[in-house]
Amino acid sequence: MARRSSSFVCQSCGAVSSKWAGRCDSCGEWNSIVEEQTGSGIGGGPGRAKPGRGRVVPLVGLSGETREAPRFLSGIKELDRVTGGGFVRGSALLVGGDPGIGKSTLLIQAAAALARGGLKSVYISGEEAIDQVRLRAERLGLADAPVALAAETSVEDILATLDASPPPALLILDSVQTLWTDVVDSPPGTVTQVRASAQAMVRYAKKSGTAMVLVGHVTKDGQIAGPRVVEHMVDAVLYFEGDGAHQYRILRSVKNRFGATDEIGVFEMTGAGLQEVANPSALFLGERSMNAPGSAVFAGLEGSRPLLIEIQALVAPSPLGTPRRAVIGWDSARLSMILAVLEARCGVRFSQHDVYLNVAGGLRINEPGADLAVAAALVSSLSGLALPANCVYFGEVSLSGAIRPVAQGQARLKEAQKLGFDRAICPQGNVKDGAGPDIAAEGLQELGEFIARISARTGVQTRD
Ligand code: TYD
Ligand code: MG
C-alpha cells in the first residue's frame, strides 16, 4: 500500500513545504499555507508510489510526418481569432478572468453555436445550478440549442458520464476551482485538488480528442487563483479582461501552443450577451474629446491587430511636496521613465505637477510603442494645447530621448487611415513603411524635436 504523508501547500502560489508557516517563503502571502494529504494518486508529490518497471518507448527523429492540429471553428469570430483559428481537438484551454466578467456567458454562447452547427458540446457547471444556466440560455435566446448540460463537480462522475457516450467535440468545465476528485484527500478548491482534477480532465481530453475548456477565476492581482499550476498543464491560456465601468471585454491569449500569443478579441456585453466588435478602433475612439488638451491617439498593435486607442493625460499643479503619479491601463514604471526623459533630455518640468494617465475604454496597453503617444498627451496637457484631432502617434522612447522604430508601422498607418486620420507622428525609421497617399507620416529621431514644435507654439517651460 502506498504510504500517505502530508505536506504543506501554499494556496496562493502552490509552493510545497514540509512544515507549516504563517507566511509563504515563496510568494510572501500570509495565512495561505494549508496542510494537505498527498496519496499515491495523480497529485504526485512526496507520497508518490515507487514506480514499477517501465515500458520501452520508441525514440524518433525530429523530422517526419506531422499533421496540422485538427481544428474546428466556434462560430464566434473574435474567439476563433484569439485561439488562432478555432478549437483544437484533444487540447485543453484555460479561460481566466475576474468573477462576473462574462466567462460563462461567452462559453455558453460558443457551446450553443457549435451545438447548432451539429457538433456535440457538453457544458458542465460546477458553480450554477441547472436552472440558473437554463435561465441565462433563455435570456440569450439559446434555449433551443442542443447543448448537453449537467451541474456536477466530481471528476469521477464527470468522467463516467463522458465515457458512457461518444466523446463530445467541445467540453466546458465551469469552473476548475469547483472540481474535486476522490484520489486526493484535500478539500475542493485547494491547489492539490485543482491540480489533480485538472490533470485527470486534461488526460481525458488528450485521450478522447475532445477540445476541453477549463474556466478559472482570477485573484485581485491578476493571477489565476491557486490554479496557476493549471496554466502549465494546458495548451492555451486566455484571459478575459475588462472593467465594471465599461461594456467592452477583451479576450487575450497569453499562452498558445497552436498559435500566436497576445492576440486579442473584443466583445461588448449587452442585454443579449456578448456581441463581437468587428471594428474596435472605432469603439475605443467613440467617446474621444477632440479639442481637449491631454488627449493623444495612439496607433497601437495588439497581437497581429492594429488598434487605435486614446491616451488621456492630466497634468495639474500639485499642492504636495511629492506630487502624485497615477496610471490606469499602462505601466507606472514606464510613465516615470517617460517623465524622467522629458525632464532630463527635453527640459520639460513635471516636478511641481501631479500627473494622471488613463487609457480610454478600460484597455491595458503593454507595448513600449505607446511611449511617444504618452509623451505627446503629457506635454499637451502641461502646455494646455490640444493636439491636432487628425493625427496619430506611435514610437518607443529610449532613455537618451531617441525615438526608436516599432514593429508593423504599415499596419498601424493603414488602420489610422481607415479611421479617417491623415497625419501620423512616428519614428523616422517607420516613415519608409509606405504611408499611402492619404496619410502623411512625419518622422522623428529625437523626442526633443516634437517638444520644440509644441514649445514654439505655446512657450511650454523648458530649460533653454
Ligand atoms: P458571467 O458570464 O456569469 O461571468 P463569469 O462567468 O465570468 O463570472 O457574467 C455575468 C455578468 O454579465 C453579470 O454581471 C451580468 C452580465 N450579463 C449581461 O450584461 N448580459 C447578459 O446577457 C448576460 C448573460 C450577463
Ligand atoms: Mg461563471
Q: How far is CA 277 from CA 79, 311, 371, in A?
A: 11, 20, 26
Which one of 268, 269, 274 would you pick to mutate in the ligand 1 pocket, going by the greatest count of ligand atoms within 8 A of its CB? 269
pLDDT attached to residue 175: 87
Ligand 1 atom 10: residue of nearest CA: 100
Which one of 103, 104, 105 would you pick to mutate in the ligand 1 pocket, going by the greatest count of ligand atoms within 8 A of its CB? 105
Nearest to 231 by CA among 99, 93, 80, 98: 93
Lowest mean pLDDT among 2-6, 132-136, 268-272, 302-306: 2-6
42 pLDDT more than 70: no
Nearest to 79 by CA among 304, 202, 240: 240
Instruction: Tell me, using a 6 A CB cutoff, whether residue 269 lines ligand 1.
Output: yes
Q: What is the pLDDT of residues 168-220, one digit of tens each?
A: 999 999 989 899 999 988 888 788 888 899 999 999 999 999 999 999 988 66
pLDDT attached to residue 278: 83
Q: Which residues pair with 125 in a beta bridge?
A: 151, 174
48 pLDDT more than 60: no
Residues 395/427, Cβ–Cβ less than 8 Å: yes
Instruction: Tell me, using a 6 A CB cutoff, whether residue 305 lines ligand 1.
Output: no
Which one has a higher pLDDT value, 244 or 21? 21
Give the ligand 1 atom nearest the CA of 108: 2
Nearest to 251 by CA among 114, 74, 116: 74
Q: Which residue shows C-alpha cell 499555507?
A: 33
Residue 21, all three cell numbers: 508557516
Residue 286 neighbours by CB under 8 Å, 6+ apart: none
Query: What dihedral do alpha carbons 173, 178, 179, 183 form, nearest 10°?
Result: 170
Ligand 2 centre distance from Cα of residue 30 (Å): 28
Residues in the chain: 464
Nearest to 245 by CA among 335, 360, 348, 84: 360
The mean pLDDT of 341-363, rounded to a whole number, is 91
Instruction: Tell me, using a 6 A CB cutoff, whether residue 99 lines ligand 1.
Output: yes
Instruction: Tell me, using a 6 A CB cutoff, whether residue 153 lines ligand 1.
Output: no
Lowest mean pLDDT among 278-282, 320-324, 398-402, 458-462: 458-462
pLDDT attached to residue 41: 46
Q: What is the pLDDT of residues 228-259, one digit of tens each?
A: 678 889 999 999 888 767 788 889 898 999 98
pLDDT attached to residue 247: 80
Q: Which residues of 369-379 are buried (b: 16+ CB within 10 A; e: fewer)?
A: bbbbbbbbbbb
Q: What is the pLDDT of residues 263-298, one digit of tens each?
A: 889 999 988 899 998 888 887 787 787 788 999 999
Give the ligand 1 atom nearest the CA of 97: 7
223 pLDDT more than 90: no
pLDDT attached to residue 463: 43
For residue 425, the number of C-alpha atoms closer than 13 Å in the C-beta half-sphere is 28
19 pLDDT more than 70: yes
The mean pLDDT of 375-385, rounded to a whole number, is 94
Q: What is the pLDDT of residues 437-462, one digit of tens each?
A: 678 899 999 999 999 888 777 655 44
Residues 317/325, Cβ–Cβ less than 8 Å: no
pLDDT attached to residue 159: 96
Cite the DSSP H helix spans in 140-289: 155-163, 191-208, 228-233, 280-285
Ligand 1 atom 23: residue of nearest CA: 273
46 pLDDT more than 60: no
Residues 202/212, Cβ–Cβ less than 8 Å: yes
Instruction: Pick the ligand that lies closest to the CA of residue 140.
Output: 1
Ligand 2 centre distance from Cα of residue 150 (Å): 14
Instruction: Pick out the residues of the known binding site.
Output: 97-104
Instruction: Pick out the residues of the known binding site for ATP.
Output: 97-104
Average pLDDT, the chain: 87
Give the ligand 1 atom nearest the CA of 101: 7
368: confidence class by pLDDT, cuts 50, 70, 90: very high
Q: Cα separation of 408 and 302, whole Å? A: 11
In the chain, the amino acid numbered 116 is R
pLDDT attached to residue 436: 64
pLDDT attached to residue 227: 55
Residue 213's φ and ψ, nearest 5 degrees, are -115, 125
Q: How many other CB atoms are found less than 10 A from the CB of residue 278? A: 10
Ligand 1 centre distance from Cα of residue 227 (Å): 22
1 pLDDT more than 70: no
Which one has a higher pLDDT value, 463 or 125? 125
pLDDT attached to residue 460: 55
304: confidence class by pLDDT, cuts 50, 70, 90: confident
434: confidence class by pLDDT, cuts 50, 70, 90: low
Nearest to 247 by CA among 289, 201, 206, 280: 280
Residue 284 neighbours by CB under 8 Å, 6+ apart: 248, 307, 308, 309, 310, 360, 361, 363
Quick one: 184 exposed, middle or buried, by C-beta within 10 A (0-12, 13-18, 19+)? buried
pLDDT attached to residue 464: 41
